[in-house]
């Protein structure tokens, strides 16, 4: 899909209209972060109502949270950092896991676990596209998901790097939009990002 919408949901009631807004925008995927108590319930609601939407859990900081997320239906797990207990638990459960990295040491810890897709976090704050270009050069087998400060303005630059598999971010699905129930605006932003991914990929062919 090229995009990972990072979702902070306070009220699980919003999960269904949100799943609908994402699907209507052409993006059947979501990362629901474990930053709120509603996360597991929201994951369960979206995965039950929209089986075609690939739902995962984000901000997973402990193996216990990974367990809860997977029981709720999460099909993948994202973490801000490289936590070996989270990674090992997901590997045991055979659930794709994308830990966050931003140094060569962390990338190599992930390589030791045979992981080849990693979240690059916090993308903009740590140095953005030029930092990612430099850090990815020695690791030709790794693809990255830059997240943190990615938005409609810099998305194209990240997606143009061959080391980038997808970009993550909250700009399409901000918690303010969810709280204000502006699902039409979410669909509009999602569809704008989906079109940009298509354009960049056509251009790279």
* Binding residues vs ligand 3PG (CB under 6 A): 6, 33, 58-59, 121, 147-150, 168-171
Query: Could you confirm whether 13 is annotated as catalytic?
Result: no
Distance CA 144, CA 205 (A): 19
Distance CA 16, CA 35 (A): 18
Distance CA 84, CA 105 (A): 13
CB of 75 to ligand 3PG, least distance (A): 17
CB of 145 to ligand 3PG, least distance (A): 9
CB of 175 to ligand 3PG, least distance (A): 9
Identity of the residue, 179 or 203, whose beta carbon is nearer to ligand 3PG in the bound complex: 179
Identity of the residue, 175 or 191, whose beta carbon is nearer to ligand 3PG in the bound complex: 175
Buried b (16+ CB within 10 A) or exposed e, 41-67: bbbbbbbeebeebbbbbbbbeebebbe
Identity of the residue, 154 or 187, whose beta carbon is nearer to ligand 3PG in the bound complex: 154
Q: Concatenated DSSP letters for 41-68?
A: HHHHHHHHH-TTSEEEEES--SHHHHHH
- Catalytic residue (one of 13, 20, 24, 31): 31
Query: Could you confirm whether 119 is annotated as catalytic?
Result: yes
Which of the residues are catalytic? 31, 119
């Amino acid at each position: 899909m090229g995009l990972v919408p990072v979702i902070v949901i306070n009220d699980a009631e919003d999960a269904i209209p949100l799943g609908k807004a994402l699907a209507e925008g052409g993006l059947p995927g979501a990362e629901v972060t474990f930053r709120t108590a509603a996360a597991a319930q929201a994951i369960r609601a979206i995965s039950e109502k929209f089986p075609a939407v690939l739902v995962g859990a984000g901000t997973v900081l402990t193996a216990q949270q990974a367990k809860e997320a997977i029981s709720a239906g999460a099909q993948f797990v994202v973490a801000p950092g490289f936590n070996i207990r989270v990674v090992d638990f997901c590997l045991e459960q055979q659930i794709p896991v994308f830990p966050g990295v931003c140094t060569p040491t962390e990338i190599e810890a992930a390589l030791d676990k045979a992981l080849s897709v990693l979240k690059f976090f916090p993308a903009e704050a740590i140095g953005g596209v030029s930092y990612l270009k430099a850090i990815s050069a020695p690791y030709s087998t790794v693809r990255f998901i830059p997240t943190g400060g990615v938005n409609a303005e810099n998305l194209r630059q990240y997606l143009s790097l061959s080391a980038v598999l997808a970009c993550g971010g909250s700009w399409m699905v901000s918690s303010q939009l969810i709280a204000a129930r502006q699902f039409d605006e979410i669909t509009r932003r999602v569809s704008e990002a989906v079109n940009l991914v298509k354009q960049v990929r056509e251009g790279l062919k």
